[in-house]
Chain A
C-alpha cells in the first residue's frame, strides 16, 4: 500500500489528529486513538515504515515532518491522558465526603493509676540517692510485722494496727515496715551488716477496719530505709521535704509533728497543707487543714540491735509514706475511698 508522505498530507494528518483528540471526552475514546495512532500497528508506525520508499534527497524533510507528527501524537495522547485522569479524580473527590466531626473510632490511650504514678515519681526523685527497690510479702509473720520492730505482744501500739489474722497462722502486713525488718535481717545474715543500707519498697498494707469514706481495709505505702553512719533527724526531714516539694511543687507547705512508732525514735509525722481545701479545713483533712502523709523516724536502737547493727556506730531512718493519701492530694480526691473507686471515667482523664 502506498502512503502519501507529501508534506501537505503529513500536515493534514497532524491537523486531523489534533481534531480527533480534541473531540475525546472519555478514557475509552482515548484508547481508540491510541490504538489508531500510537500502537505498533498504528498510523505513525506505518508512516515511518513507508519512509524507506521516499527518495533519498527528500528523506530528511519527510523524516522531520514525521518526527513532528510522532511528537505531536505522543505528547497529545499523554496530555489528554493526564487531563482525563485529573477530571476523573476531580469528579471522584467531589463525590466523596466523610464527616470528620463525628466521634473518632480510635482506641483512646489508657492510663496509669494515680497510686502508681506517685510510686514512680517518688522512685524517680529518690533515684539519685541510690535506692534499690525491693518487694516483700503481704502475708507476714508476727515477727517481721511486730516483734522484730520493737512492738512486743500486748504493747498499746498494736491497737493501732488493727491486724488481720489469717487461718494459716500469719498476719496481713499492717505496714510496709515489715520490709525494713526483712532488709536489715538479710543484710545481717548474708552481707555482714554492710552499710549503707538503702532500700525502698512500695505496695499495699492492710488494716482491719470498718470501711467508710476515709477508712479502707487496704492502703498503699512507700517504704524507705537508710542505714549509714552519721545520719541524723535533720537528714530525714530534709529527704522527706525534698520528696514532697518535688512531688507537689516548691510552694506546697510541709510541716512535721511528733508521733509515736515503736520502731523509730524520734518519730515524726510529715504533713502537707490540704490541696482540697487549701488549708482551710474540710472532710479530706478532717478539718485540720493539714494532711498527715506518712510516718517516719530514726530507726529505734532496739530494731538495729535486733539485726546486729551497732546503734553506737550507725544510725538510720525510715519512713512509710501513704501513697494513697499522696495520690489523693495530687489529684484532689475528696476521700480515701475515691482513690480506690476505680471509676474509669476519672482514671481515663489522668495522664
Chain B
C-alpha cells in the first residue's frame, strides 16, 4: 500500500518525516514498530514522502490512510481529524432496482450521481492520484476515497445499465471483456453483478467494458459493497487477476464502511472540495441499498490481570487499556471480577470482525498499541534434564571430526535439479527420470525436479570452485535426496496426513577433486593416490562410528565403472564411492577426476548403535603373511571377507600389506597379513601355523585362491 505522508498528516499529527530524512525518519520507525513495515521509500518535494507499506494479510483496515492513522492514534493517544463528509445522502432511491441473491455479498448499495461535462479534480485530490489525466475524474475520486477510507467502489455509466441490477452467483464459467480492455474467463461460482441483459461487473474484482465510465458519461451508479473475502479471492485467482479492489476485499472490508465512504465521495464531488469551483458540481440523485446481513455485535471478555500477565506489565492501568481500545474502535465495558481484578468486555469494531475472535486477538491489539518493545521479556523456566541427541545429530557429531580433520568443508546445496540434469542421469541410468519427484509449478527451470542423488550438485560445486582458483576441493554434505516409488499413484492431492516417508532419504555425501593436499608448488597426487586418500577418509569416517569398514563390488551408474566400490559397515552395504562418471564431469565442466561418496545416513545411525567396546589383550599378537594370486581386475579386499568367513580361532585382524604385479603375469600378487591374538594367553607358534593351514585350504578349496610361488 502507498502511504502518502502528506495525506496522513491531514488525519493525524505524525512524528517527523522530512523528504531528506525519509529513509530513517521517526515516522518510519514508528510504522515499523506498529507492524506497518516500510518496504519502499519515495521522496520528492512535489509529492512529499510516499512509503510503500507491507501490510499484514489479516488487516484489511490497514489498507487505508484512516486505518494507519487509527494505529498511530492508539499508540500516541493523539486525536484523529476525521475527514469531512456530506451531512447526508439523498432520501430518494436510485433509478435502478437492486437485488442481492447471494450471501457472498453481505451489503450492496448503488448511489446515482450526475456528472457534469467539464468535471475536473481539484489539485488537493489530484496530488494524491496517480496519472489523473489518464482516468475519468470520477474514477480518480473513487480511488482517492478508497485510499483514504478503505472502501473499494466502482462506477457504472448509468445509461449503459439496463433494468434491475442483480448480485448473484454464476452457474457456469463466463467470458467477459473487462474495463482494462482484456478478456477473462470468470470461474463458475463467482459473484457477478448483472443487469437485465448482461454481466456488468465481477464482484470485488473488476468492472466490465460494457458499462464503464467514459468522457461522455453524464450519470453514474456508484457501487459500494461488502463481499465475502474467500469468494473474491477464488474468483480473482481463477481469472489470474489482482486489482486494488480484490486485494482489499480479500482482506476484509468494513461492514459499516459503505455509508461513510459514500458520504465522503458525495462531499468531495459536491464542488467544495473535489471538483474545481468554477465547474458545475456532481451531485447525488438517489441511493438504493439491498437488504443487509445483520451486523454481528461480537463481544470478547478479558481479565485485566490476564492482559497484565501476558504482557508482563503488572502496572498497566485500566484507564490506559480502555483508552487504547476505544481509539481502536472497540466499545469497552468494565465490571469487577474476583478480588481487585476487572473484567473488560470489548465489542469488536465493524472493520475488525474478520479477524478479532478470541482473547489472544485482544492481547495482540494491546501489545501493538503499547509496543511489543514495551513488553517486558521474561525467560521461561529451565529444565532439570537436557534432552538426548537424536540419531542424525549423533551421526553428524560423530562424523564431523573425521571429515573436518581430513580437510573436508561442509557445504549446503539445494534439493532441486533441472530437467537437463535429469536427462543426463537418464543417459547413464535408463528409467531414473521416473524416480524423480518433479515439481508442477517451479518458477525457475533449474528447480524442476528434486534430486535423487547429490553427485551432480557436488561435482558442479567443485567445478565452480575450481574456476574460482580452489585447487584442493574437498566437500561434504548432510542432506536429503528424494525418490518417487514406482507404485505411487497419480498426482492427486494427498489427503490429510497421508505421506509416503520413503520419498526422502537422509544421506551423507563427500566429494573431492583436484589436489588432496594444498600447495601449488607440489606435484599433484596421481588418480590412484587420490583414490587411496579418499578411501582413507571414508574409512576413517566409518571407523569413527565404531564400525568395521570394508568395501565390495559396486555398480553405481553415476560412477566410473572401473573405479568404484560399495562401502560396508560389517556386512551391511551403507553406500558407495568412486570416481564420478566422465559424462557427469563433462556436463559439469570439470576435467579432473572427481571422487564421490554417498552414504545412507539412517542406516549408519542404526549401525553405530550398540557397537561393542574393543577388547584389549595383554598377550602378544602373532601374525603370518601370505601372498596370494588375485585377478588383475578383482577386488583384493574380497579375500578379507573369505578369511573372515573361515572363522579361525583367535583371528583378530587381516590387512593387505602389499600389491604387486609382474609384467609377464596376468594376476597380481597380494600379500595379506593375518593377525592372531588371544585375550587369556600367549598363542603358540604351531597353533597359528595350524590355523594358517586351515585357512589356505579353505581359500583354495572354496574360492580357488592359491598361494603365489
Say whether B361 contacts A265, CB under 8 Å: yes
A93 interface residue (CB < 8 Å to B): no
In the bound assembly, the distance between CA atoms of A250 and B64 in angstroms comes to 39
In the bound assembly, the distance between CA atoms of A168 and B464 in angstroms comes to 32
- Point out the residue from A172, A218, A255, A301 that lies within 8 Å of B358, measured CB to CB: A301
Select the stretch in B103-111, B197-205, B488-496 that faces chain A. B488-496
Say whether A166 contacts B379, CB under 8 Å: no
Say whether B444 contacts A265, CB under 8 Å: no
In the bound assembly, the distance between CA atoms of A103 and B519 in angstroms comes to 6
A residues 262-303 near B (Cβ < 8 Å) are 262, 265-269, 281, 286-290, 298, 300-301
B406 interface residue (CB < 8 Å to A): yes
Say whether A210 contacts B439, CB under 8 Å: no
Nearest CB of A to B360, in Å: 4
Contacts of B380 in A (CB 8 A): 129, 226, 228, 231, 235, 238-239
In the bound assembly, the distance between CA atoms of A237 and B503 in angstroms comes to 37
Interface code B401-420, partner A: CB below 8 Å = 1, 0 otherwise?
A: 00111111111111110000
A329 interface residue (CB < 8 Å to B): no
Interface code A78-93, partner B: CB below 8 Å = 1, 0 otherwise?
A: 0000000000000000
Given A103-B519, A106-B517, A258-B367, decide whether A344 and B409 contact each other with a Cβ distance below 8 A: yes
Given A111-B409, A156-B57, A167-B437, decide whether A104 and B382 contact each other with a Cβ distance below 8 A: no
**Which residue of chain A has its CB nearest to the CB of B499?**
A141
Say whether A164 contacts B442, CB under 8 Å: yes
Say whether B403 contacts A166, CB under 8 Å: no
Say whether A111 contacts B404, CB under 8 Å: yes
**Which residue of chain A has its CB nearest to the CB of B368?**
A258
Select the stretch in A25-33, A34-42, A112-120 that faces chain B. A112-120
Say whether A258 contacts B34, CB under 8 Å: yes
Contacts of B24 in A (CB 8 A): 281, 289
Given A141-B496, A164-B442, A298-B360, decide whether A198 and B383 contact each other with a Cβ distance below 8 A: yes
B180 interface residue (CB < 8 Å to A): no
Contacts of A342 in B (CB 8 A): 411-413, 461, 464-465, 475
B residues 386-414 near A (Cβ < 8 Å) are 386-390, 392-393, 396, 400, 403-414
A residues 247-264 near B (Cβ < 8 Å) are 255-260, 262
B residues 22-57 near A (Cβ < 8 Å) are 23-24, 32-35, 37-39, 41, 56-57
Nearest CB of A to B400, in Å: 7
B residues 363-380 near A (Cβ < 8 Å) are 363-364, 367-368, 372-373, 375-380
Say whether B444 contacts A217, CB under 8 Å: yes
Contacts of A1 in B (CB 8 A): none
Nearest CB of B to A336, in Å: 12
B585 interface residue (CB < 8 Å to A): no
- Point out the residue from A107, A160, A210, A343 that lies within 8 Å of B57, measured CB to CB: A160
Say whether A233 contacts B482, CB under 8 Å: no
Contacts of A131 in B (CB 8 A): 387
Contacts of A165 in B (CB 8 A): 439-441
- Point out the residue from B405, B437, B476 that lies within 8 Å of A139, measured CB to CB: B437
In the bound assembly, the distance between CA atoms of A208 and B517 in angstroms comes to 40
Nearest CB of A to B439, in Å: 5
- Point out the residue from A105, A113, A166 that lies within 8 Å of B440, measured CB to CB: A166
Say whether A235 contacts B364, CB under 8 Å: no
In the bound assembly, the distance between CA atoms of A164 and B442 in angstroms comes to 6
Say whether B377 contacts A107, CB under 8 Å: no
- Point out the residue from B386, B412, B518 that lies within 8 Å of A130, measured CB to CB: B386
In the bound assembly, the distance between CA atoms of A115 and B478 in angstroms comes to 12
In the bound assembly, the distance between CA atoms of A289 and B309 in angstroms comes to 32
Contacts of B464 in A (CB 8 A): 342
Select the stretch in B80-88, B143-151, B323-331, B466-474 that faces chain A. B466-474
Given A104-B518, A110-B405, A127-B386, decide whether A166 and B412 contact each other with a Cβ distance below 8 A: no
Say whether B312 contacts A234, CB under 8 Å: yes
Q: How many A-B residue pairs have CB under 8 A?
A: 301
A residues 191-244 near B (Cβ < 8 Å) are 198, 204, 206, 208-211, 216-218, 220, 226, 228, 231-235, 237-242
Say whether B493 contacts A142, CB under 8 Å: yes
A7 interface residue (CB < 8 Å to B): no
- Point out the residue from B57, B388, B450, B521 that lies within 8 Å of A102, measured CB to CB: B521
**Which residue of chain A has its CB nearest to the CB of B497?**
A143
Contacts of A102 in B (CB 8 A): 521
Interface code A127-151, partner B: CB below 8 Å = 1, 0 otherwise?
A: 1111111110111111110010000
- Point out the residue from A138, A154, A238, A286 that lies within 8 Å of B234, measured CB to CB: A154
In the bound assembly, the distance between CA atoms of A142 and B498 in angstroms comes to 10
Say whether B494 contacts A128, CB under 8 Å: no
**Which residue of chain B has its CB nearest to the CB of A142?**
B493
A157 interface residue (CB < 8 Å to B): yes
**Which residue of chain B has its CB nearest to the CB of A102?**
B521
In the bound assembly, the distance between CA atoms of A255 and B484 in angstroms comes to 44
In the bound assembly, the distance between CA atoms of A108 and B58 in angstroms comes to 53
B230 interface residue (CB < 8 Å to A): yes
* 8 additional contacts (CB under 8 A) given A110-B407, A231-B380, A234-B376: A107-B406, A108-B407, A116-B396, A185-B497, A210-B443, A266-B360, A287-B41, A288-B38
- The 8 A-B pairs at the shortest CB distance, nearest first, are namely A130-B383, A258-B35, A234-B312, A266-B364, A260-B56, A238-B377, A132-B387, A256-B372
* Interface of B toward A, CB cutoff 8 Å: 23-24, 32-35, 37-39, 41, 56-59, 229-230, 233-234, 237, 250-251, 309-312, 358, 360-361, 363-364, 367-368, 372-373, 375-380, 382-390, 392-393, 396, 400, 403-416, 437-444, 447, 450, 461, 464-465, 468-470, 472-476, 480, 482, 484, 488, 490-501, 503-504, 516-522
A-B contacts, 17 listed (Cβ < 8 Å): A104-B518, A105-B518, A110-B404, A129-B380, A135-B392, A147-B496, A167-B491, A208-B442, A232-B378, A233-B310, A238-B377, A255-B33, A258-B34, A258-B35, A260-B56, A265-B360, A342-B465
